[in-house]
Structure 1
């Protein structure tokens, strides 16, 4: 499978709706790898985790690594070496010891919300199993949301593989039609988005070229997935790009939970043709 090959299995008819280009909300969350496509028997990738206004500049805060999950080419957790956290970034090394694709992600899934005790507003975050005892019986104005977030990037040693990219069916996920380490500037790349395992139709996606500090325009645009959760992006030039999407719904079957919120961000590298 060449670095320009495309993965099949999904329909490639992708009607898109281009939206007006506007900058994203401040403090984007991202994982920035030192490299994404490597060769040889073994290699090492260093990854920085940060939130910032500018992509990819360390100027706001570091992201914690408690929710770090790295899946190796065999589908099993891969070992990382944590370097540490400063004010503006956290860093870790990922040894690539297997041939194939690694999925590098910060993943959280739980409940969060607020309630009132008397006139005081309280906030709570935890697991579904804790909900029954976490909120006092006398609490009023209880607002609880199911919250899932995924911030990720990808790295491949040798030929791209798919095992690590299998969906978990929790929250928002990007499913590759074009492999995320098989991206070339100027060529269309297709992705499918799932929300809790089902196609995320009508999902608004922000697509941003990195390096915004060094150009006059924001380099951001809005795209919308089709009825099958499909979207197509084109990178005008080689470099790192940022993708962000979020979803919010009141359609929750559990009467104790009022809404379902999910977010997704990814950093993708497009290589020269």
Structure 2
């Protein structure tokens, strides 16, 4: 994959949640809780109009990162990208919990050149050589996005759930593969490793293709970044949060955008 496609993925991941567009980015594992000998899963990855139906564009896998139960990096197998979705397999050779994520970070810039708008997206390292130093009306924003899901083979553990300290992240208080209908689960949002208070969280159950309303659940993180949700029923849920402010961590940028998306499966009692 070339760099342009990589940053197109970043543009989708950042822009869609913050702009409240109809399109939603997601990772969907074939199973989230497994037992038995030598388990495997297949993961679909897409940006779609309807949750968990691939009918728009594939989610690119350039920035795919899989962390295994011992904290080591796991390589996907049989990766492919088609017209509407990407797919890959994961061999769950080690018992425990896996974190599967597409993580992007970069800079966006816009400026005026001879009366025509110019736009650029790339890494902080390439900014100095690819964006004119004397660009007129230059505006630069820092962007991070994380789209992820969780899978457990056998007994769950927490090693793969440790935050990286970069961008907007979810720290499960309730284990993400221990969710049950009718029960409450608690999570914590971090921004660059620190508690992210007062963030709005939207949680949408699967099946919006077959109903007139999204039936979204909402929550707001407290001063410690914590929030809770009581699951109304079993099934798959799409969780998203985003923030835009001027607290950048890169000197080139004057504003920051961060987004987070997770696919969670809630089991019946």
TM-score (norm 1): 0.88
- Residue 202 of structure 2: aligned partner: 206
- 1:33·1:153 contact (CA, 8 Å) conserved in 2? yes
- The whole-number CA distance in structure 2 between the counterparts of 1:212 and 1:221 is 13
- 1:42·1:157 contact (CA, 8 Å) conserved in 2? no
- The whole-number CA distance in structure 2 between the counterparts of 1:224 and 1:208 is 15
- Deviation track 1:24-81 (CA, whole Å, cap 9, x = no partner) reads 5311000000000001232001000001121111211111111111011111111211
Note closer, same or farther for the CA distance 1:82–1:120 as it changes in structure 2 (3 Å cut).
farther
Note closer, same or farther for the CA distance 1:64–1:253 as it changes in structure 2 (3 Å cut).
closer
- Residue 237 of structure 2: aligned partner: 241
- Residue 16 of structure 2: aligned partner: none
- How far does residue 85 in structure 1 lie from its aligned partner after superposition? 1.4
- Residue 181 of structure 2: aligned partner: 185
- 1:183·1:270 contact (CA, 8 Å) conserved in 2? yes
- The whole-number CA distance in structure 1 between the counterparts of 2:214 and 2:53 is 14
- The whole-number CA distance in structure 1 between the counterparts of 2:212 and 2:114 is 51
- 1:148·1:263 contact (CA, 8 Å) conserved in 2? yes
- Residue 96 of structure 1: aligned partner: 92
Q: When you count helix as a share of all residues, which structure comes out higher?
A: 2
- The whole-number CA distance in structure 2 between the counterparts of 1:259 and 1:199 is 19
- How far does residue 88 in structure 1 lie from its aligned partner after superposition? 1.1
- 2:202·2:239 contact (CA, 8 Å) conserved in 1? yes
Which of 1 and 2 has higher RCO (CA within 8 Å, sep 6+)? 1
The 10-residue stretch of structure 1 (180-189 or 245-254) with the greater mean CA deviation from structure 2: 245-254
- How far does residue 115 in structure 1 lie from its aligned partner after superposition? 1.6
- Deviation track 1:214-235 (CA, whole Å, cap 9, x = no partner) reads 2343211321111110111121
- 1:186·1:237 contact (CA, 8 Å) conserved in 2? yes
Note closer, same or farther for the CA distance 1:172–1:254 as it changes in structure 2 (3 Å cut).
closer
- How far does residue 132 in structure 1 lie from its aligned partner after superposition? 2.0
1:128 matches 2:124: yes
- Deviation track 1:220-267 (CA, whole Å, cap 9, x = no partner) reads 132111111011112111100000111111133655311111000000
- Residue 73 of structure 2: aligned partner: 77
- The whole-number CA distance in structure 1 between the counterparts of 2:213 and 2:245 is 33
Instruction: Please give the residue correspondences for 1:1-273 in structure 2 after superposition, counting only pairs within 5 Å.
Output: 25-252=21-248, 255-273=251-269
- 2:142·2:250 contact (CA, 8 Å) conserved in 1? no
- The whole-number CA distance in structure 1 between the counterparts of 2:67 and 2:132 is 39
- The whole-number CA distance in structure 1 between the counterparts of 2:212 and 2:118 is 43
Note closer, same or farther for the CA distance 1:200–1:46 as it changes in structure 2 (3 Å cut).
same
- The whole-number CA distance in structure 1 between the counterparts of 2:250 and 2:77 is 39
- Aligned Cα root-mean-square deviation (Å): 1.3
- The whole-number CA distance in structure 1 between the counterparts of 2:228 and 2:21 is 22
- Residue 9 of structure 1: aligned partner: none
The 10-residue stretch of structure 1 (225-234 or 52-61) with the greater mean CA deviation from structure 2: 52-61
TM-score (norm 2): 0.90
- The whole-number CA distance in structure 2 between the counterparts of 1:233 and 1:188 is 5
Note closer, same or farther for the CA distance 1:217–1:137 as it changes in structure 2 (3 Å cut).
closer
